[in-house]
Amino acid sequence: MLAAQNIPQDLVGKWVIQREIPTRTISCWGEKEAKAIIGTDIEYTADSFRWKDIVVKHPTITVAIVSAEQFQRENSSPGANGSQVSFRQLGIDAPEMKQVSINHEPAEITGATTEIPGDEVLLKNRNAIVFSVCNVYFEAKRLRPIPNKSLSWLWRLLPDAQGNIRRGG
């Protein structure tokens, strides 16, 4: 585990909450609360974190590598009838993942939790993160900014969907 001053670069950017991920968990949220955050965005900068109008500036960041086994043990109930969640349920096909935790003052979201959506995330891949609020799991996708004219030369150097370098303007 590593305490960091800044949010890791691979998390910096805007993310849109796309969907709830079905898991076998017991939640303090109902369907209404879960659906209400889908379509909202989370923004991470080097020194801040925002969801809706809640902004956390200069947070303490913890970065850890968690194994699939550790994640399941720490986020599931020991009993078969309790909450159960695994990397597999979350669509993660890796033995371990980077987990970023953003420490902050308790937030008032619904009264049922003090969590802020996106305050503890698994970096599923370069363009997807997974997080939970009240034991309901969500996936968010990275919003890719459209390059402005001043950076159009850089845009031409990026590969297209087939991996070919763009030519011309």
Per-residue confidence in pLDDT tens, the chain, 169 aa: 555 578 999 999 999 999 999 888 877 777 888 899 999 999 999 999 999 998 999 999 999 999 999 999 999 988 777 889 999 999 999 999 999 999 877 666 655 456 789 999 999 998 999 999 988 999 999 997 444 455 444 545 556 655 665 555 4
With respect to residue 161, please indicate whether it lies within any of the assigned structural domains: no
158 in Cβ contact with 152 (< 8 Å): no
Residue 87 structural domain: 2-155
Q: How far apart are CA 161 and CA 166, in angstroms?
A: 10
Is 33 contained in some domain? yes
User: Two tokens at 34?
Assistant: 């879960």
Cβ pair 118, 42 in contact under 8 A = yes
Q: In whole angstroms, what is the distance from residue 94 CA to residue 142 CA?
A: 20
What domain count does the chain have? 1
Alpha helices (H) along 53-106: 68-75
| pTM listed for this prediction | 0.78
